Each structure stands twice: as C-alpha cells, then as structure tokens.
Amino acid sequence: MTDATRLTALHQAALLRAGHASSRDLAAAHLDGAERENHALNAWLVIDRQGALEQADAADARIAAARAEGPAALARLHPLAGVPIALKDLVSVRGGQATAGSRILEGYRAPYDAHITERLKDAGAVILGKTNMDEFAMGSSTEHSAYGPTANPWALDRVPGGSSGGSAASVAAYHAPISIGTDTGGSIRQPAALCGIVGLKPTYGRVSRYGIIAFASSLDQVGPFARDTRDAAALLHAVAGRDERDSTSAPIPVPDRWLSLPGPAEAAASLKGRRLGLPREYFVDGMEPGVEARVREAVRALEDAGAIVEEVSLPHTEYGLATYYIVAPAEASANLARYDGVRFGPRLGDGDVLANYLATRGQGFGPEVKRRIMLGTYALSAGYYDAFYLKAQKVRTLIKADFDALWAQGFDALVAPTTSGVAFRFGAKMADPVAMYLSDACTLPVNMAGLPGMSIPCGLSEGLPVGLQLIGAPWAETGLFELACGYEAITADAPWRAQEPSALALAADPATPTPRQRAAAPGAGLAG
C-alpha cells in the first residue's frame, strides 16, 4: 500500500470503487508517511489517526453499500469518497483544534464544522489532520507559525512558501493526495509553486468562508492543493457553492465539467487557438534567471501547441503590493480585535480587564501579526483613513479595471510567473519584512481583483520547483482547468515530471534535525 501514496486522488478513488483497495488501507499508508516524516518537515500540527481510520471505515461501508446497489449507486458517490485529505489549521472541524498557527488560539476547540468541512464529510473524504501555517495566514514562508516552521520536501533547509506551507508540503511529500489551503495574497499559489504541485485560488465568493478563521475578509478565499489538475478540480467541486451563512458566497452553479475534464489528447488539442496574455509587469526586477527561463519555456510550449500568446500590460500592477499592504492589515486589525482573552483561547494576566487584555494579546500574538495589526490600525485611524485606506480601495478598482480590459479584448487567460524565485533558505528574509512581502508580488493583484488564479509546475531551477501562473476572468475556473490539463498533456514526458522531492529519504531519517533546529542553526545536518 505504500506505493498507493504516489497515486493521484482520482486514481485512488477508482481503486476504491473497483474494490481493489480499502479506504482504511489508503488512510493508514498516508498516516504512516506523515508520522514517519513530520519530525523533519513539521507540515502537520495534528495527525488524527484514530479519527481518520474511523472515517475511512465509514467510507468503506458507504462504498460497499453503493457497490451492492449497482453501478448507478456507485456513480452517485462523489469521486473523493474514501480519499484522504489534509486541512489547513484555520478550518473549523467540530471538536478539533483550529489554532490558525497562533498561541492565542492554543487549546481552542471548534464548536461547529466549517461549510467546507460539511461538504467534505458529505462527500466522504477522510480528514487526516490539520496542517501548519503562518500565524493567521500572515506570511510567505510558514516561518511565522507559533509552532515552528515547516520545511520544503525538496530541500529541508528551505521554506515551502506560505501561508499554506503545511498543506502544500503534505501533498508534495505524499502524506495526502489533496489538501485545503487559503489564499489572501498568494498563500495557495506561492507554496504550490515552491513545492512543485498544483494550487488554485478560486474566484472570490466561489467557496464559502463560513468556519474559516479570518485574516482579510475581502481577500481570503479557500482553494485546493493537488498533484495534478484533475484532482484539484475534483476537490474544488466538493467544496464550492452557495452558502447562506456567508453573504459573500455567490449563487453561481458548480460545473460538473470539473469532474470530466478532457483526456490528454483532447486537452492538448484544445490549446490550439487559445488566446493568452503575457503581462510584462510580472517579470519583475530581481527575478531569478532560472525561474524566468522555465516560465518562458512553458510559454513557448503552449505556443508550439497552437496557443496564441501576446504580450500585454497591466499598468497598475506596480501599485499592487502597496495597496495590498494597506487593505489587508486594515481588515486584519478589525478581524483580530475579537481575540481578547475572553471568548477564545487562553487568558493571560491577573490584573484588571485591560491589563489581562494587553497581556493576552501581547503574549498570544507573534511579531508579524502585531506588525500588521499596528499598520492596519494606523491606516484606519482618524486623519489617515482617507489618505491611506480609501485611496488604496480606489487603486484596487484600477487594478481590477486593468484585468477587465483584457477580458474585454477576448483573452482566454493570462500566463505569468507565480514567483520571482525558487524556495529560499530559512531566515533569508525574516530580518527584512519588505523582502518577505515582495515574495507575493506576482500573486497579490489577482486577490485584489477577486479573480481565479492557478499555479502549476513548469520545471526545475537549480533542482527546485518553478511555478507557472494561470489567471482567468471571474468564474472562469473551467477554462483554467482545461488550459492546465493541456499543459500537463504536452509536457507529460518532460524528465522533471518524473522527479520526486529530493529530501524525502532524509525526512524519513529519525536523526534528521527538525525545521526549528535548522532555522535556529542554518546548515544543521544535510540540506537534502
């Protein structure tokens, strides 16, 4: 069963329906890998073996009953029935922890399921546990977790990206075939690129945020990680759709097309005639040569397959970073005001109410969260609201208008780098917050405009993964999935596709240092 961890989610689902595998065996194989390697990766904050095996047994019974009824009953099951999945630790699961990577929520147990948790349980997916993340999703490296950093399965001395680094690393390391992340400014796409997997940020409103611990409510969006496009589409199909408990959840139908994407030959042929834009502003100053080379090679491959690629301009892209770091901290300062030591997590201090409040927040929040709360509170304060927050919202409208103009010209999608570099070493950007913020320069505008964006692997640079970003018009996830399937088809025989993360053997060695040890003493042990 160990080899089954290398199979895609849909391949595992096919084995389950055919009776060639059990959900319990699949869950156990993935749990074994997670438990064996988590000391070196720290991708998981909770590995719930007992709960996962109970869910797997229920899934096996459900599949067996459907098989006894006949093919029609089997066809009614969601493809993810019995398939293992990992959840980022800001997704509420009734009775389980949801720390959002913060000490201020240590000990908190969710009293209800998030909307996506309900959907996954209805589908019959098996939740293996909760993954590590930057505190309150504020970070680009998963170094800001209060529970220690996560390592990249391709090189244990490097970050997996963030804030959904644990979810990305768990899929890249074969601990789960699929996982859930959230993307506020690139927190799905950037770690997907750095870990060499597929990650999608859906259109804002496509997936309910009910039961998801909030960072910036007008930017946050839940999305899937997977090792190929079809798995990502199946996971989005399971969790998307209208939810009356989230007023920003859109009443847009969930296409069944996501469960029947074209096969390799059809997908490759569908690239012919597709009109793609290549934004010049996304090839930022300081982009690593190897990353630019892989992205341009991917663009040429699309052109060779018949796609029409034209260089385009998104002139307000240069203001995206500054705009984001006004809007997001402002919303964070409001959302995080609820953590007062009364309603959630621990209460610190033994003084009066104000002293307890200050002690709880002072010790419960990490430095990056405090930084953003202060920035946001300042931007919203009297005398500065119009100068900063209101102006940022106006620029946000201009950023969206740049994209709208291209959709009006008939472009099917945009192609661009996901990141300007490969995974960087622990500590490389911790002393310079601006350098860390620049990690998301290519992904932030998509969130500001509320668009769907996807990162797919497009090769290696210096032995580390590079991501190609696909950007679509609102509600155009189907087109992105088809485009990604086409690219996967035309590069199926590329040598880099056969390479597994190079540090997995080292991660399985009990003597390998933990990510916290590596971050504290760069160079500890082997890089992997």
Question: What are the residue boundaries of the structural domains of the chain, listed by start?
Answer: 2-251+268-318+396-497, 319-395
Return the bridge partners of 308, or none: 275
Q: Give average pLDDT by consecutive 10-residue segment, the chain, 528 residues.
A: 86 97 98 98 98 98 97 96 98 98 95 98 98 97 98 98 98 98 98 98 98 98 98 98 97 97 98 98 93 98 98 96 95 95 81 86 95 95 90 97 98 98 95 84 96 98 98 98 98 97 96 94 53
The helix/strand/coil state of 140 is coil
The helix/strand/coil state of 268 is helix
CA distance 11 to 375: 47
The helix-helix angle for 320-335 and 367-380 (nearest 10°) equals 100
Say which residue the tokens 């590079």 belong to: 466
Taking alpha carbons only, the member of 52, 77, 58 closest to residue 67 is: 77
Q: Given this model, what pLDDT does residue 523 score?
A: 55
Cis peptide before 208 (omega within 30 of 0): no
Around Cβ 367, how many Cβ atoms within 10 Å? Answer: 11
CA distance 419 to 131: 22
Q: What's the predicted TM-score (pTM) here?
A: 0.96
Cβ partners under 8 Å of residue 423, min gap 6: 152, 154, 155, 158, 159, 160, 161, 194, 195, 464, 465
Cβ partners under 8 Å of residue 347, min gap 6: 341, 356, 360
Say which residue the tokens 């190897």 belong to: 290
Whether 196 contacts 501, CB under 8 Å: yes
Q: Given this model, what pLDDT does residue 528 score?
A: 45
Q: Which run of H or of E encompasses 189?
A: helix 189-195
Q: Given this model, what pLDDT does residue 383 score?
A: 86
Q: In the CATH scheme, what architecture does the domain 2-251+268-318+396-497 have? A: Alpha-Beta Complex (3.90)
CA distance 150 to 163: 10
Taking alpha carbons only, the member of 34, 260, 234 closest to residue 125 is: 234
Kindly report the three-state secondary structure assignment for every residue of 359-406. HHHHHHCCHHHHHHHHHHHHHHCCCCHHHHHHHHHHHHHHHHHHHHHH
**Token pair listed for 387:** 């100068």
Cβ partners under 8 Å of residue 29, min gap 6: 1, 2, 4, 5
Annotated active-site positions, please?
88, 163, 187
Which ranges of 272-352 does DSSP label H, i.e. alpha helix? 289-304, 320-335
